[in-house]
Amino acid sequence: MSQKPRKLQRVSKACDFCNRRSIKCGSSEDPLGRCQNCVDFDVPCTFDRPAKRRGVKAGTRVSSRDTPIAKPVADQPVPMGRGNLPERTSGSSGSRGSFHAESVSRPSLTGDPWSSFNTGWSTAEGYDDDGALRNSWKAFAISCDQQIRNLVQVYFEIVYPIFPLFHKQSFIESINNQEHLLSQSLFASTMAVCSLVSGRARDGALYTNRWHREELSEPPSEAFYAAAKDSLPRDLAAAKGFNYMRACAILAIASIQNGQIKNMQKYSGMYHTLTTMEGFHDEKLWPKDISTIEIEERRRLFWSIYTLDIYSTIVWGGVIRYREAHSLVRYPSEVDDEFITHHGYGIHPASQEASLRQGQVPIVSRQPVSWMHGWNFTTDLYRILEHVVDGTRRKMSSANGTQEVWSLFSPASMSEPTVMERVLSMYAALPARFRETPPTTGDESHDLFGFQSANIQATLQLLRMVLLSSEEVGVDRKCDVAGELLSVFSKVPVEYLRAISSPLLHHLGGIGYILGSVMEGSLSDVSYQRVRTLLLDMASLLHRLEVGLHRAAGASERLRSQVDRIDGYMRTSRLVNPSAIPPNECAKWYFYPG
């Protein structure tokens, strides 16, 4: 009698990778037996997570609700050739998160990178949520190791000039040594960098012949973004250290690049939560044992995201989280990265050793002036913008029914001509390299100055328009400034504009929207035609910059919509007596695009 064949049952649970991401685990024709998602991400398809049995364990009398059961911590084997990592403590509330000072005591992965699967993340840098997911993303990073190295190199060409969040020499060294496979927080920061750079390269930000868009397109930006997101601890209280703050900041910038403004707000909020827990706003609260490199990186991160916060408040609305009055963090030193070491600042023989800025900020550069001088000047402009935005908001807050109190403590705000006179005198005092924008050359030491000049020009024009929007000035004055803006940007090499990418598009779009506020006052036919022409010219400029973007910023279309609203307003004004209907009821003033 033949035996009845055993009925086969399908595997009822998803693989570790799909389970962690809560996505359907579909089969594929992969010869290795991996599911379709693991094939797409080129990661191992594993079922290593422990099975959870339902019900009360045999012999258990007390309910688990009454007596919490502590999970035992398994001893993790350490790869051969490595000593146990010492756990660090410091005077800060947060543990050390940077990889720089640890590189002396923690060897890099100079052998088989797959040995990193045998150990968890560094215990000093946070909390390892999911070992299976950790190994999946490690496998992903190992499989595209060369691409990660390429993207890090490109970062220093197209992102670093505006967001210099990493010390060049030490970061490249750590990536070459694959230290990100040993540190969860560094891994998150590295994946975030790759996502941002990959997205900008896809959107046409490359301006040298060293790289081609197709070479940097795989894996896509979204894969690195997911890797960075999944590497952040689900419990933010466990995300201790500098690199987690940096990862959240870069994810916020990458979200702008990808047109995901809600995600930008999400990761900005996470960044500000972490910085508050770490006391990041005051250098006295920083760990006492951090290296000079990390001190400079922290200063650059703090002021970078300060400017991003002011920028996003102007462009999308919202509140300013950090105030300059509460910021007890020095400006970054005007020192080229090659002269910053773990233990101090190297002195180049040609540098002006006696030259010190206010606050005793060292200046060390191969050039007569460091490019960071222009970067710090842009931060000055954003600090001024903070107070201008405050003045604008105070005028708008009278509609909320509260009693005015700010005038008890603040003198009358200065007029637009007074502020701009002071700002332009500061601008005129800049070295000529920051007031000129020559064509790109592919030489980083040269192009860094061009990026600063382009960014300074964009911020100056934004400051002008926000100042004008806070005062009762004529339409012609706003048109003069908008016309000057178009003239300025017509002279800036397009390579800089494309490299700055989506943030600049929103930046210019915000300026256009402020110009559109002319609907708040009377508008003659002559002024109407002038505003209309300027807005359409600005929309055309934005459209040219948006060509090739993977996800268009939509800034040009929003400006064209603004023109349509002005057209409608003028048609209404011609049909109805303007004195009978307030302008605010004829059309809505959209101060913030979105």
The angle at the Cα of 316, spanning 310 to 319, to the nearest 5 degrees, equals: 50
Containing 335, the helix (H) or strand (E) segment is: strand 334-335
Number of neighbours of residue 344 by Cβ within 10 angstroms: 12
Number of alpha carbons in the 13 Å side-chain half-sphere of residue 50? 6
pLDDT at 237: 92
State the pTM of this model: 0.73
In angstroms, the CA 121 to CA 238 distance is 13
- Sequence-separated (6 or more) residues with CB below 8 Å from residue 110: 177
pLDDT at 253: 95
pLDDT at 100: 45
Q: Is the peptide bond before 219 cis (omega within 30 degrees of 0)?
A: yes
Residue 561 tokens, joined: 């919509």
Q: Do 379 and 302 form a contact (C-beta atoms < 8 A)?
A: no
- Sequence-separated (6 or more) residues with CB below 8 Å from residue 75: none
In angstroms, the CA 315 to CA 307 distance is 12
- What is the residue-level pLDDT of the chain in tens, covering all 594 positions? 555 555 544 445 788 888 777 788 888 888 778 888 888 777 788 887 776 655 555 554 444 334 333 333 333 333 333 333 333 333 333 333 444 444 444 445 555 665 555 555 554 444 455 566 777 889 999 999 999 999 999 999 999 999 999 999 999 999 999 999 999 999 999 999 999 999 999 888 888 888 888 888 889 999 999 999 999 999 999 999 999 999 999 999 999 988 898 999 999 999 999 999 999 999 999 999 999 999 999 999 999 999 999 999 988 888 999 899 899 999 999 999 999 999 888 764 444 443 444 445 556 677 889 999 999 999 999 999 999 888 777 766 666 677 777 777 766 667 788 898 999 999 999 999 999 988 888 888 899 999 999 999 889 988 988 887 777 667 777 777 777 877 887 788 878 877 775 667 766 766 666 666 655 556 677 877 877 887 788 777 777 776 656 555 566 677 777 777 777 767 776 665 444 334 433 333 333 333
pLDDT at 477: 77
Q: Do 321 and 189 form a contact (C-beta atoms < 8 A)?
A: no
- Condensed to tens digits (0 to 9), the pLDDT of residues 470-515 reads 776 677 777 777 778 778 877 888 788 777 756 677 667 666 666 6
In angstroms, the CA 419 to CA 421 distance is 5
Q: Do 337 and 370 form a contact (C-beta atoms < 8 A)?
A: no
The angle at the Cα of 531, spanning 529 to 534, to the nearest 5 degrees, equals: 105
Supply the angle between the helices 475-490 and 502-515 in degrees, to the nearest 10.
Answer: 160
- Condensed to tens digits (0 to 9), the pLDDT of residues 83-113 reads 333 333 333 333 334 444 444 444 455 556 6
DSSP single-letter state for residue 5: P
pLDDT at 180: 94
DSSP lists the bridge partners of residue 364 as 335
Residue 587, amino acid: A
Q: Do 517 and 572 form a contact (C-beta atoms < 8 A)?
A: no
pLDDT at 80: 32
In angstroms, the CA 8 to CA 107 distance is 48
